Structure 1
Amino acid sequence: MTENPWTTLKSTNIYENPWIKLEQHEVLNPAGNPGIYGKIHFKNRAMAIIPIDPEGNTWLIGQYRYPLGEYSWEIPMGGGPIACELLESAQRELKEETGLIAGKWTQIMKIHTSNSVTDEVGYVYLAEELTQGETEFEETEVLQIKKLPFREVLEMVMAGEITDSLSIAGILKAARILGY
C-alpha cells in the first residue's frame, strides 16, 4: 500500500528555532486507534560532499558534535536552506569547510536521515577537478581537516571509526561508484 494509512486530527507546534521545529500530531493510526506522533521538521537540507582528487584522495572533517557529546570524523557537510539550489549549498559547504572548489559535481545520493521521527533529507555529492582555496569556517566550527586516500577512509567506515550516517552511506556508495 502506497497511500497514507494515518489520519491527522490535530497538529501542535511545540518548539521552534532557526534550524528545527518540533511538532506533536494527534493521529488515528493505521488500525484506526488514537495516538500521538512527534515529528522534528528540519528547515535545511543536509548536504554532504566527497571530494576526490586525481590520486584518489579525499578529505575528512573532524569536529566535536555537541548533541552526541563526542568527537566525530565526517565527510564535509552542512545545512542548505530549502529555498536554495542543492548544488549551490553543496558548493558553499565544501568551500567553507575545506577551502576546495570543484569543477565537476555529481549527485550520488538522496537519503532520509531518520524517517521515524524527522523529515530531514540529505544529499551526497562527489566533487572532482579540485582547486584549493581558503576555508571559511562558521563561528560554531572548530574543525580539523585530514586529506587521506579514499581507500583508507573506506577502511575507517568498516572499522567503525566513522559513525555519522550520512558519511557512512555516502562513502559506501562512492566506493561502489569509484570501483573500490
Structure 2
Amino acid sequence: MDYEASAHAEPPPIRRQRAVEVFRNRFGVLFDDEVLSPSGGQGRYLRWQWSHGGVVIVPMGEDGFAFVPTYRYPIGEVSLEFPRGGCEADEEPAAAAARELREETGFDCAPSGLRPLGVIHAETGLIESEVRVFAAEVRRAGPADVLSTAAPEAMESVAEPVWVSRTEVAKWLQSGRVTCGVTLAALSLALADVSASGSVPLMGECRPDQPT
C-alpha cells in the first residue's frame, strides 16, 4: 500500500539504536540489533542482510508456468518453486537471473530475454534485502534436454521442471501445492502482468542449452 497516497495514518517506526553483528558468512550477515519501540521500550530485533541482492525467475510459455521441485532442508521436504538465488559480486540482477535459470532448469536465456516484473521482500520481519522478479518466455523441453544441461550448486537438490497450465495453477494454489513465499509473490506479479497485458508478452525465447 502506498501510504503517502492513502488516507490511512502511517505507523511509527521501530528505531535502530545499535547494529549488533552476531554471525557472518559468505552469504550474508545476521544482526541482533538493539532497537527502540514506538512506545519507547527497548528491545532486540533479528535482521538478516544478504551479501548481494536476490533474484527469482518466472519461466512461462505456451504450456503455462514451469516450477522446479526443490528439496528444502529447513522444512525437510520438496517444495515447488520458481528458480531463484543471489547475485554474485558485481553481477547485474538480469545476468544473475539468466544464470540461475540455466543452473536450475537448463534453459539458456540471455539477460536481454528477461523482463523485470517488480521487487519483493521475502520475509519483511527478518530479511532486509530485496528480491528482483523477472519473467522468462521458455520452450518446454524433454527431460533429457533439461537434466543434461541443468547444473545446480552442490548444496541444491532439484528435479526437472514441472509444467502447469494457467487454468490449473489456481487449483494448485487452492490445494496448497505451492507454499514457497517467494514463488507465490513472484507468481502474483506474473499473473497481474498477464492480466494487464491480456496475454504473455513475447520476448526472445529461451531454449534448453545444448552441450557442446
TM-score range, shorter chain: 0.7 to 0.9
Give the superposition deviation at 1:157: 2.2
Partners of 2:19 and 2:87 lie apart in 1 by 26
Partner Cα separation in structure 2 for residue 158 and residue 102 of structure 1? 31
Which SS does the other structure have where 2:109 is aligned? strand
3-state DSSP class of the match of 1:89?
helix
SS in 2 for 1:144: coil
Instruction: State the Cα distance separating 1:15 from its structure 2 match.
Output: 1.0
| 7-16 or 130-139: bigger deviation | 130-139
Q: Deviations over 1:29-67 (max 9, x none)?
A: 2222222222111223221111122x2433211121011
- Rounded to whole Å, the distance in 1 between the matches of 2:138 and 2:18 is 50
In structure 2, the residue matched to 1:27 is 35
- CA separation of 1:48 and 1:154: change in aligned 2, threshold 3 A: farther
Runs of 5+ in structure 2 lacking a partner? 1-8, 200-212
- Match of residue 60, structure 1, among 41, 55, 67: 67
Kept in 1: contact 2:68–2:162 (CA 8 A): no
* Distance in 1, Cα, partners of 2:173 & 2:88: 28
**1:7-26 deviation per Cα after TM superposition (whole angstroms, max 9, x unaligned):** 43322211111213111211
Q: Equivalents in 1 of 2:89, 2:184: separation in Å? A: 23
Percent identical: 26
SS in 2 for 1:52: strand
1:96 to 88, 92, 103: 103
Structure with higher strand content:
1
Unaligned runs of 5+ in 1: none
TM-score w.r.t. the length of structure 1 is: 0.85
- Structure 1 consecutive aligned stretches of length 4 or more whose deviation exceeds 6 Å: 1-4
Pairwise mapping of residues 15-164 of structure 1 onto structure 2 (< 5 A)? 15-53=23-61, 55-81=62-88, 83-102=90-109, 104-128=113-137, 130=139, 134-151=149-166, 152-164=168-180
Q: What TM-score do the two structures reach when normalised by structure 2?
A: 0.74
RMSD value, Cα: 2.5
* 1:173 corresponds to 2:189: yes
Matching residue's letter, 1:169: A
Q: Provide, for residues 76-111 of structure 1, a one-character-per-residue CA deviation record: whole Å limited to 9, x for no partner.
A: 112223642110110000011111123521111211
Does the 8 Å contact 1:26/1:35 carry over to 2? yes
Name the aligned partner's letter for residue 167 of structure 1.
T
For the residues of structure 1 that align with 2:107 and 2:192, how far apart are their CA atoms? 23
